[in-house]
Amino acid sequence: MSTVLVIAGKEIRDGLRNRWVLATTLLMAALALGLAFLGTAPTGSNVAASRLAVTVVSLASLTIFLVPLIALLLSFDALVGEVERGTMLLLLAYPVARWEIVAGKFLGHAALVAIATTVGYGVAAAAVAYTTPGTGAEDWKAMGALIVSSVLLGAVFLSIGYLLSSLVRERATAAGLAIGVWLVFVLLYDLGLLGYLAATEGKGLSEAAFGWLLLLNPADAFRLFNLTGVEEVRQFSGMAGVSRQASVSPAALMGALLAWILVPLVLTQLIFHRRQL
């Protein structure tokens, strides 16, 4: 176990040293603050939802675009990059099991994503709560759930990134695939689903099938979890109807995210374990 921590510690130090964490935190805080104070302006003051609940809805959309990208950028290089640069050969000559390398990198990178997300969104949430009185415990709960699930979503894409990194022989290929994965999960999947539903006038899918299809995309699972999990948010996001139709419980959504973390991670280990250097 301590070997895993040594490797995780190195990744965290790398992230802090090359200012990756700083840059990402600033980016997330800036975008979050922007959304919180500008993005909610059109809602006016006569909407029943609190400002923080509105912010949670905007930040959930921001997370879906930004966090997977950030996570993939961290992870696509993790294995193939070290193999290509030659540092992997020496690392593997040490008493280090391959699963310890995968687990160590995952822990370290997940910690970096967690730091950036918690600080970046935390700053925005605190600023919103400070400037608008009447932020209730329920709002903070929604915010907490958003941050935790954002980190989970990041972990999902870290995990997918490692899988890409273990599959290919060149960094450039991994980078290309990472962009493809991002496009598919964040944009194309929903577009396709929407297109299909529009073409079949909504009759092409049963409600259960629709729910399952949303679970098959971690970004959708994340969206559904945040927009339907908390009553106040649900009302504002206009998802009250969807969540009932989709008939997927928050626990199932969380389970989907966890499965999306574990399955690619295990596959990565299986592939990396067999790889000869």
Partner 1 sequence: MAEADAVFLDGLTKRYGERTVVQAVSLGLAAGERLALLGHNGAGKTTMMKMMLGLVRPDGGRVRVLGRDPAEAAADVRRSVGFLPESVTFYEAMTGWETLRFYARLKRRPAEECRALLARVGLAEAAARRVGTYSKGMRQRLGLAQALLGAPRLLLLDEPTTGLDPELRQSVYAIIAELKAQGTAVLLSSHLLTELEERTDRIAIMNRGRLVGLGTLGALREQAGLPVRFRLKVVNGNATAVADRLGSLVLERVPGELGVACPPRDKMDVLRAIAGLGALVEDVEVVPPSLDDVYASFTGRPLSEEATA
x/- string (CB under 8 A) for partner 1, residues 1-20?
A: --x--x---x--xx--xx--
In the list 97, 126, 183, 198, the residue contacting partner 1 (rule: CB under 8 A) is: 97
Take residue 235 and report the two structure tokens written for it.
């009302």
Task: Count Cβ neighbours within 10 Å for each residue of 248-273 and write b for 16 or more, e otherwise.
Answer: bebebbbebbeebbeebbebbbebbe
The one among 48, 94, 137, 199 contacting partner 1 by CB under 8 A: 94
In the set 26, 69, 73, 92, which binds partner 1 (CB under 8 A)?
A: 92
By the rule CB under 8 A, 273 interacts with partner 1: no
Q: Closer to partner 1 at the Cβ: 10 or 244?
A: 10
Which residue among 90, 137, 199, 251 contacts partner 1 (CB under 8 A)?
Answer: 90
* Whole-number Å distance between alpha carbons of 51 and 45: 9
- State the Cα angle at 121 between 116 and 124, rounded to 5°: 135
**Of 8, 61, 87, 263, which one interacts with partner 1 (CB under 8 A)?**
87
Residue from the set 86, 136, 180, 204 that interacts with partner 1 by CB under 8 A? 86
CB closer to partner 1, 73 vs 205: 73
Which residue of 95, 134, 199, 201 would you call a contact of partner 1, by CB under 8 A?
Answer: 95
Is the dihedral angle over the CA atoms 71, 77, 82, 88 positive or is it negative?
positive
Answer yes or no whether residue 23 interacts with partner 1 by CB under 8 A. Answer: no
Q: Quick check: 96 binds partner 1 (CB under 8 A)?
A: yes
User: Could you give the C-alpha distances from 194 to 182, 197, 200, 211, in angstroms and in order?
Assistant: 18, 5, 10, 13
CA–CA separation, 123 and 27 (whole Å): 12
Structure tokens belonging to residue 1: 């176990």
138 lines the binding site for partner 1 (CB under 8 A): no
Answer yes or no: are the C-beta atoms of 108 and 15 closer than 8 Å: yes
- Tell me whether residue 203 or residue 274 sits nearer to partner 1 (CB atom): 274
Minimum Å distance from CB 245 to partner 1?
A: 50
CB 118 within 8 A of CB 204: no
Residue 170 interacts with partner 1 (CB under 8 A): yes or no:
no
Token digits for 7? 């490797």
Q: Which positions lie near partner 1, rule CB under 8 A? A: 3, 6, 10, 13-14, 17-18, 85-87, 89-97, 276-277
